[in-house]
Amino acid sequence: MFRIRQAAELLGVSDDTIRRWADSGRLAVHKDASNLSVIDGVELAELALEIARSSSIEQRPAVTQSARNNFRGLVTRVVRDKVMTQVELQAGPFRVVSLMSREAADELGLEPGVLAVASVKSTNVVVQIPPG
């Protein structure tokens, strides 16, 4: 059981939104032994899935990010198996290869010819000086 404030934080909405959803019947609110309003965790999880399914990436754009190395390019190759996907991106003269879950690649619609941006953040970057 979760208090209204906890439920709001977990769903990324305000306490008032949770109360409106309760008033409209979208979310059942119960009373605990102390007569405080609480929401069953299973019902909350079901609502979280409903919200996620009805949302799209365009409605939730990333506003900022910490990665500073962005490579804009074309997807040139996508190799999928049951769990993972290997995506190759050609960004100018640079080939960037990423391994991700198949679910992520499918949700992004990654296929050869798609414009994409690879964002790289690493604590282990080797810098070399070429010979000559």
Q: Indicate if 51 and 77 belong to the same structural domain.
A: no
Only one residue has tokens 């306490």, namely: 15
98 neighbors 118 (Cβ within 8 angstroms):
yes
Q: Indicate if 52 and 77 belong to the same structural domain.
A: no
φ, ψ at 105 (rounded to 5°): -65, -40
Q: Indicate if 6 and 52 belong to the same structural domain.
A: yes
pTM of the model: 0.52
Q: Indicate if 51 and 74 belong to the same structural domain.
A: no
Give CA torsion, residues 41, 43, 44, 47, to 10 deg: 160
pLDDT for the residue numbered 125: 73
Q: Six-digit token pair at 84?
A: 């993972």
Give the count of domains, the chain.
Answer: 2
On the 0-12 / 13-18 / 19+ scale of CB atoms within 10 A, 97 is exposed
Distance between CA atoms of 117 and 80, rounded to whole angstroms? Answer: 19
Q: Indicate if 83 and 50 belong to the same structural domain.
A: no
Q: Indicate if 48 and 82 belong to the same structural domain.
A: no
pLDDT for the residue numbered 24: 94
Distance between CA atoms of 9 and 80, rounded to whole angstroms? Answer: 35
Give the residue numbers spanning the domain of 42. Answer: 2-56
pLDDT under 50: residue ranges of the chain: 57, 59-60
pLDDT for the residue numbered 85: 97
In a domain? residue 130? no
pLDDT for the residue numbered 57: 47
CA atoms within 13 A on the CB side of 81: 5
88 neighbors 111 (Cβ within 8 angstroms):
no
